[in-house]
């Protein structure tokens, strides 16, 4: 069991690292082009891989547990960031009430924009604009897991029926993608397509296909080359705003191939994974939710030494961006570990005193 946990944490760590590198504006030849195919989608594949169907437990209990895991951080972090934005603007003497109201709307709507990119006269002014743009992922993953669990219960755990259900969800998502000019709340249209990724995770787990691929490195190489080829001919992928490149089918296939390749590499290298990578992989939630917020402070510190950061080009600016990423990860992971330690100490003292 521990072996499986190691490679899973490694996949999460690699994915979140590339998320931060992308948001920091770091461009790594080839790797940056490939990373956009897996650094968010692989979390959905892992969600399917790790999904545990327990019919003896009530559906309400499953919803409660996943809401505590995903929605509580979503609402808590968003409220904190909105409050910080208001205090910051009030201290500066210029509160942008329209901007705050728009941010509140985005907080409940759960997407970065309303109009889908590529639509005529689309307005791209962001909704999640208070250092919280990455958090669209949390309600989207919650919805995806609820749909999967619902299908498992409707079909009484029969995997072949569930897989067909995921295919029809993706068909419906494709119709929404091509014919609905707005992004639905909590990325519902995209979530329907992403059910295919959860289905892929289910298949990898039930058929032990991942172990077979990891045992044949040449297959991993083929997966990487195929994903890169599809990325080259199909264009970029950004599922946060329902962008799948020129073709939805090619886009989905590319992210599936890239995700399986990364998972296979980590599975193959399981015993050689550094402990630091595992530490990051076990604490990806605070890094995802708060890295843009921490970026703001780290960037201000770097600007003392490099006044033109981050717009300037050159080696020192690029190195500073990479440094900002690792400093942010360290701060958030250490903060999470310290918070867990303090919480456990307080809980222990309270229990001992009560007893």
Distance CA 235, CA 251 (A): 8
Average pLDDT, the chain: 90
Residue 3: which pLDDT band, with cuts at 50, 70 and 90?
A: very low
Predicted TM-score (pTM) of this structure: 0.92
Q: What string of DSSP letters covers 267-288?
A: HHTGGG--HHHHHHHTTHHHHH
Q: In this predicted structure, which of 119-123, 292-296, 321-325 has the lowest mean pLDDT? A: 119-123
**What is the spatial distance between Cα 50 and Cα 202, in angstroms, rounded to a whole number?**
8
What are the C-alpha distances in Å from 49 to residues 26, 37, 203, 209? 30, 18, 8, 11
Nearest C-alpha neighbor of 300 from the set 124, 88, 75, 83: 88
What integer pLDDT is reported at residue 117 of this predicted model? 62
- In this predicted model, what pLDDT tens digit does every residue of 171-215 receive, in sequence order? 999 999 999 888 999 999 999 999 999 999 999 999 999 999 998
Mean pLDDT of 74-98: 90
Q: What token pair was written down for 273?
A: 């994974």
Q: Which residue has the higher pLDDT, 183 or 348?
A: 183
Distance between CA atoms of residues 255 and 161, nearest Å: 23
Query: Among 204, 199, 180, 202, which residue's Cα sits nearest to residue 190?
Result: 180
Bridge partners (DSSP) listed for residue 238: 243
| Contact in structure between 110 and 139 (CB atoms under 8 Å) | yes
- The mean pLDDT value for 94-106 works out to 85
């Amino acid at each position: 069991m521990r072996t499986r946990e190691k490679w899973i944490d490694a996949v999460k760590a690699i994915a979140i690292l590339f998320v931060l590198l992308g948001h920091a504006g770091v461009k790594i030849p080839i790797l940056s082009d490939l990373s956009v195919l897996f650094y968010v989608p692989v979390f959905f594949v892992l969600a399917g891989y790790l999904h545990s169907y327990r019919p003896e437990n009530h559906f309400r209990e499953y919803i409660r547990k996943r809401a505590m895991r995903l929605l509580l951080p979503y609402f808590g972090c968003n409220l904190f960031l909105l409050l910080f934005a208001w205090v910051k603007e009030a201290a500066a003497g210029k509160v942008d009430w329209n901007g705050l109201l728009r941010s509140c709307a985005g907080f409940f709507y759960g997407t970065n924009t309303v109009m889908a990119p590529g639509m005529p006269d689309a307005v791209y002014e962001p909704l999640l604009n208070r250092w919280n743009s990455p958090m669209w992922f949390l309600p989207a993953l919650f919805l995806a897991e609820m749909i999967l669990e619902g299908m498992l219960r409707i079909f009484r755990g029969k995997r072949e029926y569930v897989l067909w259900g995921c295919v029809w969800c993706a068909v419906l998502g494709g119709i929404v993608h091509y014919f609905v000019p707005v992004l639905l709340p909590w990325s519902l249209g995209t979530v329907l397509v992403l059910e295919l990724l959860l289905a892929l995770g289910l298949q990898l787990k039930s058929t032990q296909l991942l172990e077979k691929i990891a045992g044949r490195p040449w297959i991993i190489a083929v997966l990487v080359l195929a994903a890169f080829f599809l990325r080259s001919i199909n264009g970029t992928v950004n599922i946060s705003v329902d962008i799948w490149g020129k073709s939805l089918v090619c886009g989905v296939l590319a992210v599936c191939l890239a995700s399986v390749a990364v998972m296979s590499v980590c599975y193959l290298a399981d015993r050689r994974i550094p402990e630091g990578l595992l530490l990051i992989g076990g604490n990806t939630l605070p890094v995802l939710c708060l890295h843009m917020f921490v970026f703001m402070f780290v960037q201000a510190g770097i600007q003392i030494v490099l006044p033109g950061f981050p717009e300037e080009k050159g080696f020192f600016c690029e190195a500073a961006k990479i440094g900002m990423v690792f400093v942010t990860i360290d701060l958030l992971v250490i903060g999470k570990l310290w918070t867990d330690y303090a919480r456990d100490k307080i809980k222990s003292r309270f229990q001992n005193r009560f007893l």
